[in-house]
Structure 1
Amino acid sequence: MEHRARVPAPHPAEDITEHVGYRLKRASAALRGAMDKALRAYDLTVPQYSCLELLDEQPGLSNADLARGTFVTRQSANVVLRGLKDAGLISRPAATDHGRALPVHLTPAGRQRLHAARGAVYAVEERMIGSIPARRLTALLADLDAMAEALDERPEPPGAVES
């Protein structure tokens, strides 16, 4: 049996459950489960709800924009949009006058469904953030943003040559 050197942990931890990544994933899974449950009453999935929220704020987004904004692939966004369109919650032209991106818009029924579901989703978030002192929320949000930005950076690999 080959002996492998132990890789040092990024911070002191007794086991995997004390790692930041594990805790973030646990919180994310709990949030997703609570949102799934809350949205069932409105016949929406979390990605569908997220698309409706984005379209309410920014009408005319493309499939690619919605995929990025909802953290899914373009293929998954197509499935989500097809479901929303079949339900009459969004409109999307068959063709566009310029470019290839087809702008997506909420229908009145989509806006109505979004507004009905929003209260349930906000109640989930209130329950979640109600578990921490209000004075720490701003710092938590800043820390989460800093962690995401640290991982979004793509440093050059060692030995890479600039062109």
Structure 2
Amino acid sequence: MKREDLGRTVGYQLKRVQAALRAAMDGALRAHGITTPQFACLDLLGRRPGLSNAELARGAFVTRQSMNVLLRNLEDAGLVERPATAPSGRALPTRLTPAGERLLEAATADVLAIERRMTAALDPAQAKVLLDQLESMAGALSADGRG
């Protein structure tokens, strides 16, 4: 049985792209004073205000404990706000402040520029096929089969 060159597998290439994307995003976001996980959190809140810590952690691919620290740092920086007490249950809904909205807008422009650079060799139809295939791969590996 012939062993496959791991450097020519989809999984290896996905990890290689992810590492390069993360490095590019880290560099661009440093100019805004935030990290990639902080950007992910701000982006989630920009699209869905009021998410809980657990929902943000899942969406940003970090643990709940890491999200607690991340949110505290964003709160100290004046980028997000949470009520002192939960309106119902235990979850503290988080929202962007006006400063957070401005920073998110500026940082998003830089992140989208990186995305355009990364996908420059693809035409719109190829980009759509790639997105569909990546969603299918994530779904195939997830516990519930949906990504």
**Structure 1 and Structure 2 fold alike (TM over 0.5):** yes
Q: TM-score, normalised by structure 2?
A: 0.93
Matching residue's letter, 2:128: T
Please tell me whether residue 133 in structure 1 is matched to residue 123 in structure 2. Answer: yes
Show the 5 A alignment for 1:63-74: 63-74=53-64
Return the alpha-carbon distance in structure 1 between the equivalents of residues 142 and 8 of structure 2: 23
Tell me the secondary structure at the aligned position of residue 50 of structure 2: coil
Q: Which residue of structure 2 aligns with residue 146 of structure 1?
A: 136
- Structure 1 unmatched runs, 5+: 1-5, 156-163
Return the alpha-carbon distance in structure 2 between the equivalents of residues 56 and 133 of structure 1: 28
Please tell me whether residue 48 in structure 1 is matched to residue 73 in structure 2. Answer: no
Structure 1 residue 154: Cα displacement: 5.8
- 2:104 aligns with one of 102, 114, 122: 114
Matching residue's letter, 1:144: L
Runs of 4+ in 1 over 2 A off after TM superposition: 131-135
- 1:35 aligns with one of 22, 25, 36: 25
Q: Which residue of structure 2 aligns with residue 82 of structure 1?
A: 72
Aligned residues: 145
Matching residue's letter, 2:106: A
- Structure 2 unmatched runs, 5+: none
Structure 1 residue 52: Cα displacement: 0.7
| RMSD over aligned Cα atoms | 1.6
Return the alpha-carbon distance in structure 1 between the equivalents of residues 40 and 132 of structure 2: 22
Identity %: 54
User: Which protein shows a greater Rg?
Assistant: 1
Q: TM-score, normalised by structure 1?
A: 0.84
Matching residue's letter, 2:141: L
Return the alpha-carbon distance in structure 1 between the equivalents of residues 27 and 37 of structure 2: 13
